[in-house]
Amino acid sequence: MTDKKTAPPPLRKASTVILVRENNQELEVYLLRRSTKSGFMGGLYVFPGGVVDPEDNGFDSWSPHIDMVPDQIEKQLGGHLFSNEDALGFSVAAIRETLEEAGVFIASVNNKTQKDIEDICKFRLKKGLPKSWFRTKIMDENWTLSFSSLGKWSHWITPELMKKRFDTRFFIAFMPENQICIPDNMETKHGIWVTPKIALEQNLEAQIPLSPPTVVTLTQLLKFKNLYDLKQEIQTRSWGEPVSPRLVQSSNGPVILEPWDTECHTDCKIDTSDFSSKVLLPGSWFSRIWCDKGIWKPVGI
């Protein structure tokens, strides 16, 4: 039996949204820098996201306010061992968190004006809003959340040695027209549109310090040249197996071993003494990410 003192923190359900657009014929993603006061990934650039709140659940109350019926949700956003109820809660959280953190509202604009969109994007910045504010706002003003704009990308489980752990679904969504991204300046302090290649390059230069899952995701996105290619991928993409990395501590900085690393599922120690000479350039595939003075860098074996 696992000792309670060494038991890993419990998993919390969470959603992340990879917000993408095409600019100058190149694919760009939107990244937010988390506050340095944050207890998780503080100071690092991540995609918008956060935990699934109890208010995000409940088919009876949400079904009139989403643009999909259960069969459509199951096909587009569900999956093996991922019930429609879970798909609903994670999807609502994905849209809510994107609005709260980035000021982008993934919703139907039918019967709504540009001012309506702008008003709700401003409203999310009010101080002291209750947890239920989003649910109340959607239902009182009869909004329809655009589940049809979300696509499946990946499923991540935070390593056991992390102080906070999350069971996170990474959705992908295309930037809505006539909206702009504005960080909330509370949980997130700075936002940028950037190509995956430039973000990965500037991560190594400590200009855009990225979280480990962001490094992996941006590396995956390098092969897509435009939105058309990405849309084709999303049509057939599944959640896939959960990505459950292992965190290994070392005197030279912690290392994350991805599930495809040959030593991820062993208890062996990792020699990091020569990792500074093994850092990989963007575009190289990898199975290990090393934290070098606060910067997570892909390294070769």
In a domain, 19, yes or no: yes
pLDDT, residue 71, reads: 94
- Secondary structure element (H or E) that encloses residue 133, with its range: helix 133-140
pLDDT, residue 137, reads: 97
pLDDT, residue 287, reads: 97
In a domain, 4, yes or no: no
For residue 211, the enclosing domain spans 11-239
39, 90: one domain: yes
In a domain, 1, yes or no: no
pLDDT, residue 34, reads: 87
Domain boundary among 239, 256, 290: 239
pLDDT, residue 172, reads: 98
What is the CATH classification number for the domain harbouring 97? 3.90.79.10
Cα(102)–Cα(41) distance, rounded to whole angstroms? 17
pLDDT digits (tens, 9 = 90+) for 172-221: 999 999 999 999 888 788 999 999 999 999 999 999 999 999 999 999 99
Divide the 301 residues of the chain into consecutive groups of 10 and give the mean pLDDT of each group. 63 97 95 80 91 96 96 93 95 98 95 95 95 97 98 96 93 96 86 98 97 97 94 94 95 95 90 95 95 96 87
Q: What is the DSSP letter of 48?
A: S
Report strand pairing: 26-34 vs 188-194: antiparallel
Cα(213)–Cα(205) distance, rounded to whole angstroms? 18
Our count of domains for the chain comes to 2
34, 100: one domain: yes
40, 151: one domain: yes
pLDDT, residue 3, reads: 41
107, 254: one domain: no
19, 165: one domain: yes
pLDDT, residue 116, reads: 97
221, 250: one domain: no
In a domain, 135, yes or no: yes
In a domain, 2, yes or no: no
254, 154: one domain: no
pLDDT, residue 42, reads: 75
233, 253: one domain: no
pLDDT, residue 5, reads: 54
Q: What is the pTM of this model?
A: 0.94
301, 156: one domain: no
Burial class (CB in 10 A: 0-12, 13-18, 19+), 133: middle
